[in-house]
Amino acid sequence: METKSGTDRRPTYDPGTAAPPPAQKASVVEDFIDIFYAPSSVFARREQGGVGVPLLIVSLLFAGFSFASKSVFSQIFDAEFSRGMANAMAKNPRLTQDMVSSMRPVQEKIASVFVYLGAPLAIFFTAILVWIVAKALSGKLSFGQSMLVSTLAFIPRLVGSLLGVVQVVLMDTAGFTNRYSLSMSPARFMDADATNPKVFALVGSLDVFAIWMAVLIGIGMAVVGKMPRTKGYVGAAIVFVVATLLTSLFV
């Protein structure tokens, strides 16, 4: 059945039919726009392309948005560090205030790395999961293609970062005291001090843009990995659940 060019239906892969027609060429800028309304087309035309340029653009934009919100991030780090060290001292009476103070510079440097390099690190580890899950589901993704899928799927999360900057500019951020304060997840409205840290991390993972990324990963796994769309979504769900559980384990 013929479908209208430019819609998200055209490049859908079905192993029982002939291969889709060759995808038209487009610029990286078009990819960043089309991924919001015709993601299958983007994955189809980029499946054999390199990941370097999209990854660089995503990383630079994410770092720029993080820099623009650095005042709130510093405030959030202070609150998170104090909360974490208070819990650690309660569990280990031998941990003194001097020892806690000596840990702060190291923790602050680590936090700075994750703030500015969060996008490439998240994309890399997501790509590992995508590659492993795709192999388990008989998908045909190379690791490079898994990186490409993860990178393109990450683009909507840049919108979340931009909304964070808008909030910093327009809102009173004095009450922002945890890492989900700028997020679009239910954890934003929870009390971090009164909630189990692992539960808090699990709820925080239910961010609108994280879920959007998972949906795009499913589409990308189906189109690039040459598998039915349903199987792609199953793979994306596995990636999302595993990533969420791993995150909560290290809280």
Question: What single-letter amino acid sits at 219?
Answer: I
pLDDT at residue 105 tops 60: yes
d(CA 148, CA 136): 19
**Measured CA angle at 122 (ends 193, 239), to 5 deg:** 90
Q: Provide mean pLDDT across the span 85-93.
A: 70
Percent of the chain scored above 70 by pLDDT? 79
Continuous H helices in the chain: 28-34, 39-46, 52-68, 70-91, 97-116, 118-136, 143-170, 197-204, 208-224, 229-249
As given in the structure block, the two tokens for residue 174 are 């004095």
Sorted by where each begins, the domain ranges of the chain are 38-68+117-249
What is the tens place of the pLDDT at every residue in 212-243?
Answer: 999 999 999 999 999 999 999 999 999 999 99
pLDDT at residue 75 tops 80: no
Name the one residue in this structure whose structure tokens are 């999302």.
Answer: 240
Three-class secondary structure of residue 82 per DSSP: helix
pLDDT at residue 52 tops 70: yes
